[in-house]
Amino acid sequence: MDIFEKCFKYTTAKEAKESGVYPYFIPLDENEGTEVIYHGRHIIMCGSNNYLGLTTHPKVRQAAIDALNRYGTSCTGSRFLNGNLSLHEKLEAEIADWVGKEAALVFSTGMQVNLGTISALVGRGDIIILDKEDHASIVDGAFLSGGKIERYRHNDIDHLTRVLESLPEDKGKLLVVDGLFSMEGDIAPLPELIPLCKQYGVRLMVDDAHAMGVLGGGRGTAAHFGMTEDVDLIMSTFSKSFASLGGFIAGDADVVDYIKHNARSLIFSASIPPANTATALAALEVMREEPDRIARVNEIADKMRHAYNDLGFNTGTSVTPVIPIIIGDDDLTFLTWRKLFENGVFVNPVISPAVSPGRQLLRTSYMATHTDEQLDRVLETFEKVGKELGLI
């Protein structure tokens, strides 16, 4: 059998393009934060993870330019060998201080953080416990580790308790959970998770890719609950609030040092480019200097969530700037996306397996730099399309 046979038979994307509802890989001409340009049309962006709007901040942009001029475009090697800069280590020290941990380690992407960290810590004979709505990078890291995978229903503490009760005491155990879940916008119940982890001898890693810069004064989910000391490892990316590319893991110095010398995704990948490193540093500086941005994005989230609910849309259990509009059907989700796009609003259609069957949704997300005028236009468009399609 030809291994490419599956490729030749794959027609799903082609059929969606022919029907005019293909929503992926859209080639934007320009992306200026709250608005993008597509074929000359200005479209309000409500599908970005640029929560603090820092991709267009003058200080952040200038930091990237200065680093590019000083260091060039790439380190052309892994951090393990020739690609380690003092700039990387400065960022690690600043990150560790920001999240309240002894040490941090910077990777080239957030995906690599989870692949490398989980597979370094968990091995055959160990057990990794996952929320069923955990991000794909966590799931892939778990499979890569070779450890036994246990899963519990999303934010279901009773089910998690039963899972933990069933596990042998003499096995190493790691629970990995999203702090802020990227599709539904709800938060992991750390005040309930942490006592269980302590009771059953489980280490806890929180993926704060979407919570960093948003919750806990920008310091993430553990800070949001005042439980930073009780979380063993904090992970996040630079591709959201940090307006860059890359990611980090933070925790006790000995644990971070072990990951540093055993995470294959770090050792065998080129290091994060200097411009991206400087961008993340500058973004962190802005977070310290301009806390109003963090407050603003959460104020916007509250406004939009209440407005959507008042219109009759279902926003699920969201309490953050990630606000789902739950549709519950593949075709209707894509059709609604298309109508919104044609009317100047960019959102993200999400179907299974990214969400559970019956939870198909439009993922909307917001930036501190969205204006009230833009937000009102978005709500007017949602109301128009929602009534046209019988959603409200």
What is the per-residue pLDDT across 267-276, written as a single tens digit (0 to 9) for each? 999 999 999 9
- With beta carbons less than 8 A apart as the criterion, state whether 156 and 132 touch: no
Residue 272 is classified by DSSP as P
Question: Nearest-CA neighbor of 231 among 197, 268, 281?
Answer: 197
What's the mean pLDDT in 4-17?
93
Q: Name the strand (E) or helix (H) holding 377.
A: helix 372-388
The predicted pLDDT at position 19 comes to 87
The predicted pLDDT at position 250 comes to 98
- With beta carbons less than 8 A apart as the criterion, state whether 203 and 252 touch: no
Question: Nearest-CA neighbor of 138 among 122, 124, 126, 125?
Answer: 122
Q: Is the pLDDT of residue 357 over 90?
A: no
CATH, range 5-51+291-388: 3.90.1150.10
> In whole numbers, what is the pLDDT of the chain averaged over residues?
96
The predicted pLDDT at position 210 comes to 98
Strand runs (DSSP E) across the chain, as ranges?
Answer: 30-32, 35-38, 41-45, 103-107, 127-131, 148-152, 173-178, 203-207, 233-237, 247-251, 322-326, 345-346, 348-350, 361-365
SS3 for 337?
helix
The predicted pLDDT at position 349 comes to 96
The predicted pLDDT at position 241 comes to 97
- Distance (Å, whole) CA 49 – CA 179: 15
What's the mean pLDDT in 78-92?
97
Strand runs (DSSP E) across 194-300, as ranges?
Answer: 203-207, 233-237, 247-251
In DSSP terms, which residues pair with 203 in a beta bridge? 174
- Distance (Å, whole) CA 61 – CA 70: 14
What's the mean pLDDT in 252-273?
98
Q: What are phi and psi of 44, to 5 degrees?
A: -75, 125
Question: Nearest-CA neighbor of 249 among 282, 127, 64, 258?
Answer: 258
CATH, range 57-289: 3.40.640.10
The predicted pLDDT at position 356 comes to 81
Q: Is the pLDDT of residue 18 over 80?
A: yes
Question: Nearest-CA neighbor of 132 among 194, 177, 168?
Answer: 177
The predicted pLDDT at position 374 comes to 98
pLDDT tens digits for range 26-63: 999 998 789 999 999 999 999 999 999 999 999 999 99
- Distance (Å, whole) CA 222 – CA 235: 11
The predicted pLDDT at position 165 comes to 97
What's the mean pLDDT in 288-314?
98
- Distance (Å, whole) CA 12 – CA 9: 9
The predicted pLDDT at position 355 comes to 82
Handedness of CA 286, 290, 293, 299 (dihedral sign): positive
Structural domain boundaries in the chain? 5-51+291-388, 57-289
The predicted pLDDT at position 20 comes to 87
